[in-house]
Chain A
Amino acid sequence: MQPTDPGITWLEEKPLGLAERLYLPLFLQGLTTTARHLVSPKVTVSFPEQRPTVGNPLIYRGVHRLNRDDEGRVKCVACFLCATACPAHCIDIVATESPWPDREKYPEAFQIDELRCIFCGMCEEACPVDAIELTSLLDLTGKSREEMVFDKEKLLSVYDMTKDTEPMKSAALGGAL
């Protein structure tokens, strides 16, 4: 880009007034700002004792869960759209023939490597049946790498754990399912 580019607007600095040239008024102004912040309420959340408040759980991207339908079965139809959309390749699905008449396939195994996951929410976006969702659970810890690979049962248990506090998003957002 040239300095003469018409897209650039060159602003001339305003000339300094007497108070600004004397420096002291500006200094006092800065010092009062600092002093005000020194005593103002702090924004820090002392984490283990205090829990941060999640603003809107509907748009928060925390730990995944696999939703259940009304009969308690996994909603997933093993279409692989989430695994395809996943930029971190952390979703691993083994599909098999469904024992139920309302769908052709269901996931025999469904694994999410929470350590590889970047919590972008693309899987949630991609899912055609609103089976995979991100909850507002934010303290995801484990003692080994293996423990951090969540299988189907674990993901379903996350649903069981959070379904009362966080209803399925499809309903809250006015979805059909």
Chain B
Amino acid sequence: MTSLLPSPTTLAALIKIGLLVGGLMTAAAYLVLVERWMAAWVQDRKGPNRVGIPLTKIRLFGLGQPLADGLKIILKEDFTPRHVDKVLYVAAPLVLLAASLAIFAAIPFGSVLPPLGIPGLPDPVPFLVAPGLDVGVLWVFALSSIAVYGVLLGGWASNNKYGFLGGVRSSAQLVAYEIPLGLGLLGVVLAAGSLRLDVIMNAQAETGIWYIFAQPLGFIVFLVASFAEAARLPFDLPEAEQELVGGYHTEYSGIKLLLFLVSEFLHMVTAAFLIVIMFLGGWHLWGVTGSGQEVTWLGAFLRFAVLSSKIFGVILFFMLVRWSWPRFRFDQLMTLAWKVMLPLGLANLVTVATIEEFRPQLSEAVGPATAGWIALLIPWGVFFVGWITAGLLTPSGTDNTPIRTYGPLDVEHDLVEV
């Protein structure tokens, strides 16, 4: 009989999957509420504050809103237009959601638990569904590329020009911004010497120097690229409502639309996770969480809380930026990716590689403390020089003067005037 039971390792993984998926779905629902609140507050409104506990008059500041939103969209008619490609039409939201959720297998959502002493379960138990996955970053990258397929399939299967344009725009944008994203990430991977996200966090905790301080340029490049990857404003061209109706999900309704929207929010959460884990120190906070691998229950909880609040802060920043910046034009978007972010990312990569290569020699020559300061200051120098150069060299991209063309009627009119 015992052989039929799952092993403790499998059981632990299943529990973690359950917690993670449940937590993420709830978080996505409540982030929609937070987003609506932020939108309202920025526009001097109050936002949703009526829906509370159903069938009572208790309002709870509108905390029942996600339930009402979800019920409304689930109960809507799930209409499939006649002109769509049925198989791909159904597959697209599933692919997108599956990819967005599977990403979290390799993303740690805390540090480790204290030793549990369960036989067959290696201690300490990490907050990570797939512990010891040596290609964690690659996994995240590969799956976020698969998410592009969901968007593209949705646009293609819709058999609708708005949907198609949205899908094509989206794929162009995501392909363009994967490169700066990868370059920003590569600097961190070089510095930490590992592709595992938990190791990257531990490296920052041990030195106490988060990579945002060590690689400011990489941080900026990665931040901008993750905004674009999450298709958030100012990079929300795939679904620019004013131009494309709804973009790739124009033809979707009901629960399929819900899956698309949830996946979009999960993209933002993934981006926030990656930013925090790779550049903002993960669960580490000076003087609060410690830096070792041995933790008490309180320590484990503190680390989880620090990581969560950092992620929440980054998400709030995402939402605030949405109302601060106008959307880029498509050529500006491409200019930014290829002419600004790509060179800046390369500059960061070269700087980091050089520093890491010569760090031992430098330490030997001037002592580890001075070497550490030099290794911190050089990237900041590169950051300022690179930023100012990029600002001065790139086309400003604000030239909106109309091209004064003449139609046939205008020419006729001019002839009459002459």
Contacts and interface: CB of A to CB of B under 8 A. Distances in A.
B44 A42 contact: yes
Contacts of B392: 18, 21
Nearest to A30: B324
Nearest to B43: A37
B42 A22 contact: no
Interface size class of B (residues with CB under 8 A): 20 to 34
B56 interface: no
Interface in B319-356: 320-321, 323-325
Contacts of A41: 44
Contacts of A165: none
A113 to B, nearest CB: 32
A37 B41 contact: yes
Contact of A38 (B41, B391, B394, B398): B41
Contacts of B72: none
B77 interface: no
Interface string A1-15: 011000000100100
Interface residues of A, number: 26
Given A13-B398, A22-B387, A31 B44 contact: no
Interface string B380-418: 000000011001101010111100101000100110000
A121 B9 CA distance: 76
A35 B44 contact: no
B46 A46 contact: yes
A33 interface: yes
Interface in B1-60: 38, 40-46, 49
Interface in A18-65: 18, 20-24, 27, 30-31, 33-35, 37-44, 46
Contacts of B321: 31
A33 B44 CA distance: 12
B323 A44 contact: no
A2 B405 CA distance: 10
B320 A38 contact: yes
B95 to A, nearest CB: 35
A3 B388 contact: no
Interface string B89-133: 000000000000000000000000000000000000000000000
Contact of B38 (A23, A24, A33, A38): A38
A102 to B, nearest CB: 53
Nearest to A46: B46
Contact of B44 (A3, A13, A37): A37
Contacts of A33: 324
A20 B397 CA distance: 12
Contacts of A173: none
B398 A27 contact: no
A60 B404 CA distance: 47
Interface string B156-193: 00000000000000000000000000000000000000
Contacts of B387: 22, 24
Contacts of A177: none
B329 to A, nearest CB: 15
Contacts of A3: 404, 406
Given A13-B401, A22-B387, A31 B320 contact: yes
Contact of A13 (B40, B46, B325, B399): B399
Contacts of A2: 410, 413-414
B192 to A, nearest CB: 27
A16 interface: yes
Nearest to A37: B42
A16 B400 CA distance: 13
Contact of B398 (A10, A16, A35, A46): A16
Contacts of A35: 320
Contact of A27 (B324, B400, B406): B324
Interface in B286-301: none
Given A13-B401, A21-B392, A42 B45 contact: yes
A46 B47 CA distance: 11
A34 B320 contact: yes
A4 to B, nearest CB: 8
Contacts of A37: 41-44
Given A18-B391, A21-B392, A37-B41, A42 B46 contact: yes
A43 B44 contact: yes
Contacts of B401: 10, 13
Interface in B51-87: none
A16 B45 CA distance: 34
Nearest to A23: B391
Contacts of B320: 31, 34-35, 38
A115 to B, nearest CB: 27
Contacts of A20: 396
A-B CB proximity, top 7 nearest: A22-B391, A30-B324, A21-B391, A44-B46, A3-B404, A34-B324, A38-B41
Given A24-B387, A37-B44, A44-B45, 11 more contacts: A2-B413, A2-B414, A13-B400, A13-B401, A16-B396, A21-B391, A34-B42, A34-B324, A35-B320, A44-B44, A46-B49
Interface of A: 2-3, 10, 13, 16, 18, 20-24, 27, 30-31, 33-35, 37-44, 46
12 contacts: A2-B410, A2-B414, A16-B398, A21-B394, A23-B391, A27-B324, A27-B325, A31-B320, A41-B44, A42-B46, A44-B46, A46-B49
